[in-house]
A and B are shown apart, each in its own frame.
Chain A
């Protein structure tokens, strides 16, 4: 016990320090996830072609690009949700903390516990608000009611939904408004304390006020986890992200600091897209 403690402490403490320092100085944080030479195809059709990209810890990476360019497909590769679609093949590698998540001995279920996902269309379970958030904890085998209640409350607070629902936790999740449902889905994903959160156009069906709430949320969550967010809204990408990647026809055309990409894009295609000349 004490031995492993000694072995663990210096490294853990060191990496925590590095992280904090990096957050403070806004310098580069360690790489959390990395895709290398990633090609994804549906049956014969390639939807993502030879993409290499780093996702840094405690950063928000925004993915933009015209419809059908492979953003969602790429996102689903990061937590192995593509495994659930028939006929998908993945070439190349994706690592999480340096470990290949497509290695044969890796369980996709465990990957998904560490890499959570929020979908474009809010999809609460037809269960109570409380049970929606508690679901991930229960399936992970947590049984203590006190702990579950505590984590549910924390997740709902993180998702800025607690004040609106604290008196109606036993009502159906489907009785909430669209914006509340989406925040419920975010709370549900946060309750299991993922290290990375993937968000596929989480605000596309929401009104401006609900959208603003989700954006604030993303900005706040960054201190706890790493976020990859797909968006069609370039102002949104500029507001919430530190890095932005531009996808076009399955290829990652360009990725870099958000400010740089939006002010001085390197590629002609990126410039055309962000200035609205196509797409």
Chain B
């Protein structure tokens, strides 16, 4: 520290001193990082602990297999679990193929100077920054009032069949929300496939298409799956986008058609927390619902992490 000021210091010791100071910087930084990590971990432990302790008491076979009863102050949450799973599956079917196809175009086919590719990237970046409630409004305005109403006018003589909140519109709205993450993760995974193996394939007389489908995608599969699952699991817990597009307060029946409304875990949490006439009696149910929602999300994340670990291991074995 004093090296800069003391007069007789040779250039060599000055260099040593800066070196040492950077060590001090390293230590301060790593202490700060550790502290930040601990704070986050502590918060996570508190939240999770509270949810698990509060939720474990109400979780039972009946809770996950029965419908709510007595004005939602008793009974189970099966319709909400069913709705969330159906919603997530539909959203995945819509978002992942479209996202992967977009990423393949961006990573493999778009020329470096392509205007279209640049436009797509700008859209994706902006899409990722839009608040989720805006997606909900978009879903209402576009899918329900425009597309759904159009279908009704053409096919159902103006009778509200698709022009109302329903499973399909909520799933598509969520799909748009998830799409950017799927595209970005997939493009990264595709670009991580080394040029060497592409060249090897092309040099054997493979077409670009053959190379993409037989060499690039199989190698990128782990990364694509991991990214997609993480994106989907984030979308699965969202409430705002489905608020106006299909989620129902309470339904005596399960959705059986794409144009049925549905109950969902996230929305059910919101309903129990804010709309209940008897907070003391719904509070345990609230804990249980949150625990189920978190478990489903964690399950998805766990699958994603397991796939990533497996891919990593295979890659490491290849070195």
Using a CB–CB distance below 8 Å, which chain A residues touch chain B? 79, 81, 84, 86, 109-110, 112-113, 116-117, 119, 121, 123-126, 135-136, 138-140, 172, 174-175, 185, 188-189, 192
Contact = CB atoms under 8 A, between A and B. Distances in A.
Interface in B177-203: 194, 196-203
B7 interface: no
A192 B203 CA distance: 11
Contacts of B112: 86
Nearest to B193: A126
A16 to B, nearest CB: 25
Given A109-B205, A139-B210, A139-B214, A126 B318 contact: yes
Contact of B203 (A86, A116, A175): A116
A135 B219 contact: no
Contact of A189 (B202, B203, B206): B203
A126 B111 contact: no
A112 B205 contact: yes
Contacts of B202: 81, 84, 112
Given A119-B200, A139-B210, A126 B205 contact: no
Contact of B204 (A86, A124, A126, A192): A192
A116 B204 contact: yes
A86 B210 CA distance: 20
A139 B207 CA distance: 8
B205 A81 contact: no
Nearest to A185: B200
10 contacts: A81-B202, A109-B205, A110-B205, A112-B202, A116-B203, A126-B318, A139-B214, A172-B318, A189-B203, A189-B204
B307 to A, nearest CB: 16
Given A81-B202, A139-B205, 20 more contacts: A81-B199, A86-B111, A110-B205, A113-B204, A116-B204, A117-B203, A119-B199, A119-B203, A121-B196, A123-B197, A126-B197, A126-B218, A136-B204, A136-B206, A139-B204, A139-B207, A172-B317, A172-B318, A175-B317, A188-B204
Nearest to B315: A126
Interface residues of B, number: 23
B274 to A, nearest CB: 52
B217 to A, nearest CB: 12
A113 B205 contact: yes
Nearest to B319: A174
Contacts of A188: 200, 204
Interface string B195-239: 011111111111100100011001100000000000000000000
Given A121-B196, A139-B214, A174 B317 contact: yes
A278 B314 CA distance: 44
Contacts of A140: 205
B205 A84 contact: no
A49 B81 CA distance: 69
A136 B202 CA distance: 10
Contact of A119 (B196, B205, B215): B196
B200 A123 contact: yes
Contact of A109 (B194, B200, B206, B215): B206
